[in-house]
Structure 1
Amino acid sequence: MKKRGLNILVAITVVSFIGCGNSQQNTNNNGKIDTKANQSTTDKSHMIKQKITPNIWVETTDAKAVADYYLSIFKDGKLKEHHKYTNPAEAGGGNFETATIEVAGMELSILAAGPFFKFNESVSLVINCKDQAEVDYYWNALTANGGQESSCGWCKDKYGLSWQVVPVEYFDLINSKDPRVREKAMKNTLTQKKIILSQLQ
């Protein structure tokens, strides 16, 4: 238990350090960390511009695979960083990785440090979709290959992260000034897994 706690502490410390550092790629061709990159960078163009960055801890230790998975779904995304680390002996050894991707204009940090924590629905990411076709695309992509459908527009991807896939018109319906529109949208939402907008209108 003591080694596990130290292992987690090391991983969290590394993630905190990265968040306070810069966004430039600072791993060399062998995947080892170039600490000089963090020490000598002064070009503000490389600084992280997003004030708050969501960070997800996945149960694998392959951050690149996780990044590739999300980038295969969000086609306009890109990999910004990928780093490999080795825990010191006193932390029990072992390797873990981090990655930073940009999807839909948002930076998302990935910590791949093994099966210490699991996702639950208390935290989810919302995809605001422009129409039903976009809802269908993201729903199908996220629930494929080990993902899981839930209800009321919620689903999980293959890593267990919860998503809400919602057409933007949905919010107009459930917040309508017309009580009949609101009631129909809310009532029919409860019968759905994937949101079918035509059944709520």
Structure 2
Amino acid sequence: MNTREKIATCLWYDGAAEQAAQLYTSLIADSCITSVYRPEPHGPALLVEFTLAGVPYQALNGGAHFRHCEAASIVVKTDSQAETDKLWQALIADGGSPSQCGWLKDRFGLSWQIVPWRFIDLLQSPDRAAAQRATEAMLQMGKLDMAALEAAFKGDAEHA
């Protein structure tokens, strides 16, 4: 694996960079920690480099000066409701918080969007009225529920 990436997103943490990288890489397939820099051999990490599904990131223990906010988030596109549910639960566990429209914050304060590929397909449908119904249903949700989104798309108000 090439750990000399030209571009990576750096995420700022207050002492939890390594724990965050460990959690994230445990949840996303084809992910791994590629390097850990510790100023002291047995001390805490200052910088952790990792990939999520091949996308490079850095986690920096920079202190309490800056906090994550919703202006930046990691988007994970899921293949099934089961994958959506699993990621959602794991990321809000231990102090994370759900939000709306597929957004959540993990226990480290980082924002995520958990979005099923199928929902993206619905939004890109040439049937603009159906896509709008799916969008309106999504705006009422926290975690995205594909059965309800499909029902809304089809105009099945009873099951949306």
Percent sequence identity over aligned pairs: 32
Measure the CA separation in 1 of the matches of 2:132 and 2:25: 37
Would you say how many aligned residue pairs link Structure 1 and Structure 2?
A: 147
How do residues 79-90 of structure 1 correspond to structure 2 at under 5 angstroms? 79-85=33-39
Corresponding residue of 1:20: none
Q: Larger C-alpha radius of gyration, 1 or 2?
A: 1
Measure the CA separation in 2 of the matches of 1:151 and 1:46: 36
Structure 2's unaligned 5+ residue stretches are 151-160
Q: CA deviation at 1:200?
A: 1.1
User: Which residue of 110, 122, 131 corresponds with 1:173?
Assistant: 122
Structure 1's unaligned 5+ residue stretches are 1-44, 87-94
Q: TM-score normalised to the size of structure 1?
A: 0.67
Amino acid at match of 1:198: A
Measure the CA separation in 2 of the matches of 1:109 and 1:103: 11
Corresponding residue of 1:63: 17
Measure the CA separation in 1 of the matches of 2:23 and 2:82: 21
Is 1:145 paired with 2:99? no
Corresponding residue of 1:192: 141
Q: CA deviation at 1:198?
A: 1.0
Contact 1:99 1:110 in 2 (8 A): yes
Measure the CA separation in 1 of the matches of 2:95 and 2:27: 14
Measure the CA separation in 2 of the matches of 1:72 and 1:169: 24
Moved over 4 A (4+): none
Corresponding residue of 2:83: 134
Q: CA deviation at 1:96?
A: 6.3
Corresponding residue of 2:73: 124
Is 1:73 paired with 2:22? no
| SS of residue in 1 equivalent to 2:108 | coil
Measure the CA separation in 1 of the matches of 2:88 and 2:45: 30
Measure the CA separation in 2 of the matches of 1:166 and 1:72: 19
Corresponding residue of 2:9: 54
| SS of residue in 2 equivalent to 1:185 | helix
Measure the CA separation in 1 of the matches of 2:78 and 2:137: 19
Measure the CA separation in 1 of the matches of 2:3 and 2:101: 39
Contact 2:101 2:142 in 1 (8 A): yes
